[in-house]
Amino acid sequence: MLVTAGILSWTQASAQRSSIGVKGGYLHVMNTSTISIIPGSTDCGTFRDGTSAGLFAGLTGEYALLGDVLEATAAIVYSLRPATLVEPSNDNFEVLDPTTNSYVPLQREHTFTSSLGYVAVELGLRSRPFAEIPVYIRASFDAGNAIVDGTYSQTERIVSPESVLFPNDRKTRTTGSGEIVGLGTAYGVGGAIGGVLPLGANLELCPEVGYRLGLNSLISTDSWKQSMISGGIQLRYRFGGDEAEPPALPPEPPRERDTTPPPIVTITPDPLPVPPVVITSVSTTPLEIRETVVTQTYPLLPYVFFDSASATLPNKYVTTENTATFSEVNLPKKTLPIYYRMFDIIGKRMADNPSAVLIVTGTTDGREDIRQRDDLARRRAEAVVDRIAQRWNLPRSRFVIRTVDKPTFPTSDRYLEGIEENRRVELSSATSALLAPVVHTRFKEYVPIVTEHTFSVSTENPALANQWDMVVSREAQELDRFWRGPLCPLTIKFLCFSA
């Protein structure tokens, strides 16, 4: 009964008062995602969790349903919800480390950053159940779109080895940027607790902390949710009520006459400046660098193997992937998976080279039924031609079918494996591009011609120096640092390493 009476008296005293206001503050944005590092493929990993700092500002309005005990709230809020997602990758690719002259794993770090400017509509309820306690709670639901900003940037940085650079001669390069694909409406629910600090009969200052839970993915292409912890403040004006007049200030007492004598100021002249220690010049001979271009290639094995007495293509050579989206760039960086996609590789290259002709030679192992060998070899060759021609819509006039009883250069038939390898179809062409290796990676290595470099140094007032140091850098990246003291030497030797 006491609690009920207190709430009723508080409702009657506060009346049905509406309010408007403004609010703003800080956001701690928590991102949870499975965004693919390479769009459309998870072979190279995904970006996962990450946190970032944002802010929000908006216009608010409240309508009293039961005085301050229960108010309906609405707001239009702009929020900056950035994201910084960092994911290391090690895809077992090795490069030559010039510092050790050995092949070591290439370790990279992928960074996804975005700047999302959302405009959202927020609806909810606010309650301050006890007049004696200036604390309220608030629950809300929001929906918004990134209509102010929805861009991203994705970079890739070489972590190890230190001496390897990308083809742009840097350790970092941009792999993607622009508008974020698939952005939609973001929904969320939240809860908050705040305090009420009266600034007058109609004005209130309300500090508040809260938590928002993201209900759905921000994008349709991958899973990406944002939840946030907020801390902010609201200034609101409440309609109705009279402003109480402040009490009159008491009269100021008469001031007594100051009879204290003025202080005596003594001016001390500034000491003479100490002459600076100046490095007047640093000279050296030109540094010669040898550039080497390195590529990662996967040769194609131009053979298609068949089972004994069979002209049916094994399932390992058959794929249902749409040819419209096929690209050698998206192939796995492994020899065997690339070999099994040989039909698509050759078909795409024939489509890109309209004058190229593919020679398809069917063979047998020399032990199969002698009465059927020529027919078996031809059916094997035709099975390969049919697969490539039908899948890539190529005319059969671009294929030449040949048959032999046994390969011209057969594998030794002393072993079972050699007999199996002779049951094959051999592919050849006068156009070398059809059977050229698959090239996946291209980068540059730099090696100095002379590993020791000497700098000549000239200084003024060297005896006044306490310590000296020298930093050798390239494009704001520190390569080496030297400390000595106190006298600067006339020459400094620097060891150059490969990069």
In angstroms, what CA-CA distances link 60 with 134, 150, 208, 407?
19, 25, 14, 83
pLDDT digits (tens, 9 = 90+) for 157-177: 988 888 788 887 788 989 888
Query: What DSSP line would sit under 193-249, residue for residue?
Result: EEE-EESSSSEEEEEEEEEEEE-S-SBSSS-EEEEEEEEEEEEEEESS--PPPPPPP
pLDDT value for 244: 47
pLDDT at 5: 40
What single-letter amino acid sits at 32?
Answer: T
How many Å apart are CA 448 and CA 103, to the nearest integer? 19
Strand partners, 219: 183
Q: Report the distance separating Cα 107 and Cα 404, nearest Å.
A: 49
For residue 98, the one-letter residue type is P
> Residue 118's Cα: distance from chain center in Å?
20
Q: Which residue has the tokens 């690209």?
A: 327
**DSSP H helical segments within 260-334, as ranges?**
none
Residue 443: the pLDDT is 62
User: Which pLDDT value is given to residue 66?
Assistant: 87
CB burial class (10 A; 0-12, 13-18, 19+) of residue 434?
A: buried
| Pick from 468, 451, 452, 448: nearest CA to 460 | 468
Tell me which residues of the chain have a pLDDT lower than 50.
Answer: 1-14, 243-244
Q: Are 304 and 421 in contact (CB under 8 A)?
A: no
Identify the DSSP state of 396.
G
Show Cβ contacts of residue 165 under 8 Å, excluding neighbours closer than 6 positions: 158, 171, 443, 444, 446, 499
Q: Say what the pLDDT of residue 351 is.
A: 96
On whether the CB atoms of residues 147 and 119 are closer than 8 A, the answer is: yes
C-alpha distances in Å from residue 221, one per residue of 120, 183, 255, 354: 22, 9, 77, 36
The order of strands in the sheet holding 452-460 is 278-284, 452-460, 491-495
320: its two tokens: 């249902």
Contacts of 274 (CB under 8 A, 6+ apart): 464
| pTM (predicted TM-score) | 0.47
Tell me the CB-side half-sphere exposure of residue 429, using CA atoms within 13 A: 20
pLDDT of residue 485: 65
Cβ-proximal residues to 80 (8 Å cutoff; 6+ apart), any chain: 27, 54, 55, 56, 115, 116, 117, 118, 149
Tokens of 149: 């900003």
CA dihedral of residues 195, 199, 203, 207 (deg, nearest 10): -30
* C-alpha–C-alpha distance, residues 91 and 334, integer Å: 11
Distance CA 451, CA 474 (A): 16
pLDDT at 1: 36
Ordered alpha helix ranges (H), 15-165: none
CA end-to-end span of the chain: 81
The rounded distance, in Å, linking the Cα atoms of 356 and 474 is 48
Give yes or no for a cis peptide into 486 (omega within 30° of 0).
yes
pLDDT tens digits along 40-89: 666 677 888 889 999 999 999 999 898 888 999 999 999 999 999 898 87
**Predicted local distance difference test score (pLDDT) of residue 459:** 79
| The pair of three-digit structure tokens given for residue 225, joined into one six-digit string | 């949710």
